[in-house]
Amino acid sequence: MSSEADVRNQYFDRLFSNPELKWLGQNTNHFPMHPAVRAALHEAIDDESFHAYAPPLGIEALRSAIVDDLELPGHAAVVTDGAVAALALACRAFCTPGGGFVTTDPGWKWPLQFAQKAGAVITEIPIYGPEHGYKLSVDALVAATDANTRVIYLVDPNNPLGTTYTADEIRAFAERAKALGAVLIHDCTYRDFADSHTLASSFYPEGTVTIVSFSKWLGLAGLRLGALVATPDLLARILPHSQAPLGASVIAQRAALAGLAVKGEWMAQIGAQQRANQVVIAEAFRRLPGFQVPMAPTQANFLVVECIDAGITPEALVTALGEQGIMVRQGAYHTPRFGHRFVKISTTVPAAWAQALVEALPQAVERARSLPATTALF
């Protein structure tokens, strides 16, 4: 008999083994690579430098390039196997049994599980809905935090909502964390898609851990590369919890370095393309009875589509689109509380994929009506 972990793995293996699949569900980036990144990857394979381990905290040139890119002087980076490993490390370092871990609902679920494993008491602040402006307010954060709060986990821009914060809001969040002596984990995985973005570390450097990823803006999801950035004093509290004494992928780090060198040009190009995809996709859903797109374009590379008033469940729609080779994500992946309302569509994809979704939609919606309302999805 298969374990749940096996079933989940086989689900993703089926998706991964389909070379024709159009990935519009995991916010990964499927635009053809920048030539400089392609050249760096080829070089990294041809010179076989990967027979050696990388330096444990990352190639020094990459560590510096990450800090320079964030414009956080006095900070240092630790390169990790994706942002998720950086988040796991920060949770191991700062979550305590009985200590409060406060985040938003919806948000990104895995750090909640890391915090739970460490015995933390989780508080999820609801932010879904126009009454919240689909984002965290300072008042809501103040009301949900107290002297027992050890960690505030802020996904900004939020996944799945694609909302971000003003400098004043970030300053107020940082001040609240500082007043409580809590660590602020600022998950900036999607920051490069925002029109403007403020780093909490510029207000509260001594207690902020900034998390970045190379999966989304650069398209290296399968190469697994991210980083955690903090001041040297804070890093000294984090590093004893590291489980990666042998460093991260050499090949991925070489690609990341090349990517950072062309970032401005690359983001200008793909940023415009993914925004155009958002417009096309939002319009297609809005033409269908009952569907709503609360925000488009968003400040990230995805958007939320409400299907609750269309009379079909997110799971049925995901399954129906899946039958047509298109992957989108059910809301329940992000939030048990609000997940029955929406699907999430990722937009860093070739325009032809966005068009394929638009064309598949009317038939998929009809098909969804005859499918089970709930299906085991992951």
Determine, following the binding rule CB under 6 A, whether residue 221 of this chain makes contact with ligand PLP: yes
Determine, following the binding rule CB under 6 A, whether residue 23 of this chain makes contact with ligand PLP: no
Tell me the two tokens of residue 369.
């009506």
Length of the chain as a residue count: 378
Within positions 309 to 348, which residues make up the interface with ligand PLP, using CB under 6 A? Answer: none
Determine, following the binding rule CB under 6 A, whether residue 301 of this chain makes contact with ligand PLP: no
CB of 228 closer than 8 Å to CB of 202: no
Among candidate residues 71, 86, 104, 95, the one with its CA nearest the CA of residue 205: 71
Least CB distance from residue 217 to ligand PLP, whole Å?
10
CA distance 103 to 136: 9
Determine, following the binding rule CB under 6 A, whether residue 155 of this chain makes contact with ligand PLP: yes
What DSSP line would sit under 6-58, residue for residue? HHHHHHHHHHHT-TT-EE-SS----SPPPHHHHHHHHHHHHTTGGGSPPPTT-
Determine, following the binding rule CB under 6 A, whether residue 187 of this chain makes contact with ligand PLP: yes
CA distance 266 to 23: 20
DSSP 89: H
* Of the candidate residues 104, 149, 159, 346, the single one contacting ligand PLP (CB under 6 A): 159
Least CB distance from residue 288 to ligand PLP, whole Å?
27
Determine, following the binding rule CB under 6 A, whether residue 226 of this chain makes contact with ligand PLP: yes
Residue nearest to ligand PLP (CB): 82
CA distance 112 to 96: 13
* Of the candidate residues 29, 104, 189, 198, the single one contacting ligand PLP (CB under 6 A): 189
At 300, the amino acid letter reads: A
228 versus 354: smaller Cβ distance to ligand PLP? 228
Determine, following the binding rule CB under 6 A, whether residue 108 of this chain makes contact with ligand PLP: yes
Within positions 26 to 85, which residues make up the interface with ligand PLP, using CB under 6 A? Answer: 27, 82-84
Least CB distance from residue 11 to ligand PLP, whole Å?
17
Q: Which residue ranges make up the site for ligand PLP (CB under 6 A)?
A: 27, 82-84, 108, 155, 159, 187, 189, 213, 215, 221, 226
